[in-house]
Amino acid sequence: MDYTRREILETLRMTELEHFDVRTVTLGVSLLDCGHEDPEEAGRRVYAKLMRVAGPLPGVVAEITEALGIRVANRRIAVSPVALIGTKAEPASYLAIARAIDRAAQEMGFDFVGGYTALVHDGFTRADRALIASMPEALSTTKTLCSSVNAGSSRTGLNLDAVRLVAHMLKETAYLTRESGSLGCAKFVIFANAVEDNPFMAGAFHGIGLPEVVVHTGVSGPGVVCQAIRRAGPCDLRALAEVIKRSAYKITKVGEILGRQVADRMGVPFGIVDLSLAPTPELGDSVGEVLEAMGLERTGACGTTAALAMLTDAVKKGGVMATSAVGGLSGAFIPVSEDAAMIAAVREGALSLEKLEAMTSVCSVGLDMVAVPGDVSEELLTGFIADELAIGVINHKTTAVRVIPAYGKGVGEIVSFGGLLGEAPVMDLRRLSCETFVRRGGQMPAPITSLRN
């Protein structure tokens, strides 16, 4: 594909008209050298390292974005999975680290920090269990901290015991943050096949295979893609895919230019560009609108999964033409609360949880920012999460669940979070019992990948 400098600069001019932004510049920081048998000392080491290493980033980003005329929505940090740092398998030891991370982030002006994470796809350590037990208090008493658990992989299968622990943790977190719409649950995600270089929250963490410090960027731009599709008119699907690829190329290139300049200025490696069409509650900045511009009456109509599959594939193809550093989750997010067209589809009854689950088989992540009734049982929540993670395990893709059992809310009511998180209509889920199944526990075996004579 032959792209010109004019086309790249054109994208910069779209920042005001088509809601284009670089959603995040995320600094990955290893904290593996901060462990100590005294939790308070571990917290002091974590705080000191973050202040030293991450402190310059907000200022550097501000200078570069002003020079380039690019808008950056969030500045974020991803740290090593915190379960690997503590030396005492007690929830209190991790809470000291959580508070140190949050204090440093707020003092430096970061929006979120990811990495309060346990990797338990093939079983638990005592530290993993202690970290998960500490999550309700950590998520309810901190402002910037985000948390995640990887409970499955295509190589190891699905740890159903971990999913049950998470369901219990989410119910407790929902109660503790009930005055803010159970907001604590919106800062947590459970994965299958989690990636090490994801710059997006709530699932970012700094993988153990990455450099000491690294800069990632996450771009967005569903408004840019939507307007390009509308300008293209009634073309066939092959031509439409080319339109999407060109748009993805341009916004990826902007993310790489910014990320490399930030990394050079800070003297650290540049990591990846995550090209995920990430919507916001603003009109015109919606993945649902992109699908409808492709020809659907409303997101949730027959053809929605096919349209999303084509969109995700074309976005990835355009991104890899722009840079060899595409990584993270790259594709299209389909959160309910952060996307105006998706919210409208749910309210009108066009989009059900079952249809949303089908769409996650081809999107870049999974069930994202879904609010369900607060009285949902732990067993039902376990089955709901397990269904989604099984899609990832069997199909060798990253899937995730960010679900909010909204305390005190019922089907059809609205849960408001504010900011980029917006608001979510509480969705209905099947109440048929899965208790006997989920109480079996244990490890769902890894899928077979080939069968030859």
The yes-or-no verdict on residue 34 having pLDDT over 60 is: yes
Residue 333, pLDDT score = 82
In DSSP terms, 22 is beta-bridged to 72, 219
- Asked whether residue 115 is assigned to any structural domain, the reply reads no
Of the listed ranges 36-45, 71-80, 275-284, the one predicted with least confidence = 275-284
Euclidean distance between CA atoms 429 and 424, whole angstroms: 15
Domain count, the chain: 1
Residue 291, pLDDT score = 93
- Asked whether residue 191 is assigned to any structural domain, the reply reads no
Percent of the chain with pLDDT over 70: 94
Count of beta carbons in the 10 Å neighbourhood of residue 370: 26
The yes-or-no verdict on residue 6 having pLDDT over 70 is: no
Residue 240, pLDDT score = 95
8 Å CB contact between 67 and 43: no
Q: Which domain holds residue 271?
A: 216-442
- Asked whether residue 128 is assigned to any structural domain, the reply reads no
- Asked whether residue 53 is assigned to any structural domain, the reply reads no
Residue 423, pLDDT score = 84
Please report which confidence band the pLDDT of residue 290 belongs to, taking 50, 70 and 90 as the band edges.
very high
CATH number of domain containing 258: 3.20.70.20
- Which H or E run contains 4? none
- Asked whether residue 8 is assigned to any structural domain, the reply reads no
- Asked whether residue 253 is assigned to any structural domain, the reply reads yes
Query: Across all residues in the chain, what is the average pLDDT?
Result: 89
- Asked whether residue 143 is assigned to any structural domain, the reply reads no
| Span 213-224, pLDDT tens digits | 999 999 887 888
The yes-or-no verdict on residue 444 having pLDDT over 90 is: yes
8 Å CB contact between 146 and 365: no
- Asked whether residue 420 is assigned to any structural domain, the reply reads yes
Q: DSSP readout, 282-349?
A: STT--HHHHHHHTT-SSTTSTTHHHHHHHHHHHHHHHHHHH-S-B-TT-EE---STT-HHHHHHHHTT
